[in-house]
Amino acid sequence: MSDTDSSHSRSRYSSGNADGVEIPRSFIQYIRSLGPGFIAVLTWLGAGDIVAAGVSGGNYGYALTWAMVLALAVRYAFVSMIARYQLCNPRGEGVLDGLARFNRCYAPFLFIAVLIWGHLSSTYMLAGLGEISVDILGIGNGYLWQIFWAAVVVSIIFRPIYKRAERIFKVLLALLAVSFLGCALWVGFKPGALLKGVFAFEVPEQQGPFGASLVALGMIGAVGGSLVNLVYPYFLEQKGWKGPEYRRLQRYDFLLAVVVMVIFNLAVWTLGAELVFGKALSIPSIDDMAILLGGVLGDAGRLMFLVGVFAAIFTSIVGAGLGLSYLGSHAWYRWRARNNEPLEIEYRSSKVYRYLTLWIVVSPLIWRGQAEFISLTILANTFSVVMIPAIAGGLWWITAKESFIGAQYRNRWWDNALMGFVFLLALYGVVEGVKSIIAQLIPFQA
């Protein structure tokens, strides 16, 4: 809830509810109202997604693009169910409140998850911001840049005025568009091959350490267990969208944002397909992709790509810091409340919110740029696969049960089919993830 958006003042739009902002009527008013979806998807779009899309394009060309598009379509449906609960449940409670009513363990579980996942993810994101700042500007060292960007992020999150955050994200969205789409068009792509890859549902022969079917299932199955799916309701709340009358506006907002994310991912996938596929090359890191682009497009192309990567990582760490600090604060107070009564707390004004922000953004600096990334990767993977069925299963329950969401808005059969599909993939991902972790631990311990 921001300084500007929680004031309940009347605006030029048509009608709203007693607690939220006005609802737009015209096309222009709808466009001006959009925002929470873009903050959510840019929070999700980080360095890992960029590398994954580039590596998949390098290994399989355009053949597996359908899996990425399908994964994002499933994510749209899945997160839309989360938003439906947030906006439409009869108690007016948050998603975390519903999960805690289903099982009280969810509050401490999600609080601990925020502590662990927030630290691990920010460690990599700050490292990325430091390295890219040195690459772009050619001055300083990575750790000093990490300290600088951590201070900038904390200054934004400590005063989370929603409209200001939304403006920052829209500027960086424009940078991403220029960077990724510009590089893809500059390198050149094959529209026919891209369209075939999206609609042919081809499963090519294995390239690299993982088979194409496992890569595809991993993309789709991971969407339900991502902790950052649960930050989207807090962006809706800060925007002032409260109640079922905002459901249509929320759907339009999120649909457009996911379409933009599909386009960005396809642009990076195109870079991998055009630069690497069929050649004796690899792109295990962002630096490798930037070097390849430099060889094809020159320094201008390399810098254009790095600016886009910077924008993607910066929006991810700001969005994750904002959302996870809200989620963690909510989980803490719900855990401490020991009952199911509504919480009348301004999370961003609480000490817990500020402590969590410092922990998420500043604690990675203790590594001084010397983090043992193999150990952290194994730990992060272990924690992720444990979370997937717990989060997906709980969300399925509260969106399907009339006693939680009400008869009018509970899941229909197709919603339950989707949730069951995601939950089964989540369980499959746990099995495969544990196998992968064991395989990594054996040589690591040796």
Q: Are 327 and 96 in contact (CB under 8 A)?
A: yes
Q: Are 65 and 104 in contact (CB under 8 A)?
A: no
Virtual CA dihedral for 166, 169, 175, 179, nearest 10 degrees?
A: -140
Half-sphere exposure at residue 412, Cβ-oriented, CA atoms within 13 angstroms: 4
Residues 6+ apart with CB under 8 A from 110: 96, 99, 227, 230, 327, 328, 331
pLDDT in tens, the chain (446 residues): 443 333 333 332 334 454 557 787 777 777 778 889 989 989 888 776 787 788 788 888 888 888 888 888 888 888 999 999 999 999 989 999 999 999 999 999 999 999 988 998 888 888 889 889 998 998 988 899 999 999 999 998 887 677 888 888 989 999 999 999 999 888 888 888 888 888 888 877 766 655 666 666 666 655 555 788 899 999 999 888 989 999 999 999 999 999 998 899 899 889 888 888 877 666 666 777 788 788 778 888 889 999 998 999 999 999 999 999 999 999 999 999 877 787 888 887 889 999 999 999 999 999 887 765 445 555 555 566 667 788 888 999 999 999 999 999 999 999 899 888 878 877 776 776 666 656 655 554 44
First to last CA, the chain: 50
Q: DSSP letter string over 255-314?
A: HHHHHHHHHHHHHHHHHHHHHTTTSS----SHHHHHHHHHHHH-HHHHHHHHHHHHHHHH
The whole-angstrom separation of Cα 376 and Cα 124 is 10
Q: Please tell me the pTM assigned to this model.
A: 0.85
Strand, helix or coil for residue 4: coil
Residue 174, burial from CB neighbour count under 10 angstroms (0-12, 13-18, 19+): exposed
Q: DSSP letter string over 68-113?
A: HHHHHHHHHHHHHHHHHHHHH-TT---HHHHHHHH-TTHHHHHHHH
Query: Which domains does the chain carry?
Result: 27-445 (1.20.1740.10)
